[in-house]
Amino acid sequence: MTDAPADSPPTSSLYKYVDIAGLRRILQGSIRFTQPSAFNDPFELLPEMVMPVGEPERRINVSFDTRAPRRHPPVGDVEEVPPNWSASDATSRDIVQQLNSVIGIFCLSKRNDSLLMWAHYANDYAGAVVEFDVSHEFFSGRVDVEYKPLRPRKHISSYVVAREPIPVSELCAKSDQWEYEREVRIIRCLSECEKIGEDKRGFPVYVQKVPAESIKSVILGERTTVVEQREIYARVMDTDIGLLLAAIDHAGYAFRHERIKYNVPYSKTGPVMSPRTAHIFSELKSARGEFARWMVDNHPLSKIVNKPV
């Protein structure tokens, strides 16, 4: 399989919403490439496969290309189902099971401010958002998810007689009810990944090493505990990874980002302290810790901005 031009428009950053356990894994250098059926949407990579009524449903063996961009127009797309044709659920399920055995997907978003994604994927605002520099070669061949009101339909013959591998990118379509996610995908062969165990649903867990230099920053959630804020700060303090803490903004349904650390090791600039972040440093036995304790005890905003919500 060869690299192909990215299907996504150029962008410097993409974001991953995670719980704290997921953040730890990423900061330790590991990201999961997940099989389609292991995602929360049961329609993942599951097109309607249409065929003549009465034609026996049969297994078809399909080969896939994980990095090829969408063809324009995609081969085999069906706008209207012909008379005496219908969709074959068994064939669709067979194709996705074949995909489950050979590919994994790493999902990212173009946005870092989705309230729904903070709730769904970042442990109800107690997790984090990781910012990646996707100009790094690790993120080559990325694919924008298409959002459609109708489930994509494919003519079965285009798969039976396919003369070249089917681009997985052509199956990356979801209901437009998911459009708020603005999802971008990195697709890899599981043979390129390392198997490390199973998840709670029994799917094998495959990972790749993510280059540390591709991690630009971490935004901790409004509800991330102080213990975890201190832990994550300790993990990134000697790195070029920036660290911020989300805080409910003064107006509207939005968050502001309180800076904790810039994108350089703390020894070069030191951390940034505010009434919202001072408690991270309040246990240090140093002048910085002494100032943090003073701020926690005496700053008029400290107890207000740190009340749980």
pLDDT of residue 160: 67
With 50 as the cut, is the pLDDT of residue 1 above it? no
Whether residues 158 and 274 share a domain: the answer is no
With 50 as the cut, is the pLDDT of residue 185 above it? yes
Per the structure, the count of domains in the chain is 2
Whether residues 204 and 259 share a domain: the answer is no
The Cα 121–Cα 32 span in angstroms is 14
Whether residues 148 and 280 share a domain: the answer is no
Q: Is residue 190 part of a domain?
A: yes
Whether residues 291 and 165 share a domain: the answer is no
Whether residues 266 and 164 share a domain: the answer is no
Q: Is residue 233 part of a domain?
A: yes
pLDDT of residue 5: 38
Whether residues 160 and 296 share a domain: the answer is no
The Cα 46–Cα 199 span in angstroms is 22
For 51-71, what is the mean pLDDT?
Answer: 82
For 36-43, what is the mean pLDDT?
Answer: 95
With 80 as the cut, is the pLDDT of residue 163 above it? no
Whether residues 75 and 47 share a domain: the answer is yes
Higher pLDDT pick, 206 / 2: 206
Q: Is residue 17 part of a domain?
A: no
pLDDT digits (tens, 9 = 90+) for 201-233: 999 999 999 999 999 999 999 999 999 999 999
Whether residues 53 and 93 share a domain: the answer is yes
Q: Which residues pair with 287 in a beta bridge?
A: none
Whether residues 287 and 237 share a domain: the answer is yes
Give yes or no for a contact between 130 and 218, defined as CB atoms under 8 angstroms apart. Answer: yes
Number of other residues whose CB lies within 10 A of the CB of residue 167: 22
With 80 as the cut, is the pLDDT of residue 265 above it? yes
The Cα 294–Cα 152 span in angstroms is 60
With 50 as the cut, is the pLDDT of residue 3 above it? no
Whether residues 152 and 272 share a domain: the answer is no
Boundary (domain end) residue, out of 213, 235, 263: 213
Q: Is residue 119 part of a domain?
A: no
DSSP letter string, 181-212: G-EEEEEEEGGGSEEEEE-TTSPEEEEEEPPG
For 99-121, what is the mean pLDDT?
Answer: 97
Q: Which domain holds residue 195?
A: 30-111+140-213
Residue 117: CB partners within 8 Å, gap ≥ 6? 17, 109, 111, 180, 181
Using DSSP's 3-state secondary structure scheme, residue 215 falls into strand
The Cα 219–Cα 47 span in angstroms is 35
Using DSSP's 3-state secondary structure scheme, residue 229 falls into helix
The Cα 129–Cα 72 span in angstroms is 34
The Cα 173–Cα 44 span in angstroms is 8
With 50 as the cut, is the pLDDT of residue 9 above it? no
Whether residues 299 and 190 share a domain: the answer is no
Structure tokens at 6: 């990215």
Q: Is residue 200 part of a domain?
A: yes
Kindly compute the dihedral angle of the four CA atoms of residues 21, 27, 69, 93, in this order, to the nearest 10 degrees.
Answer: -20
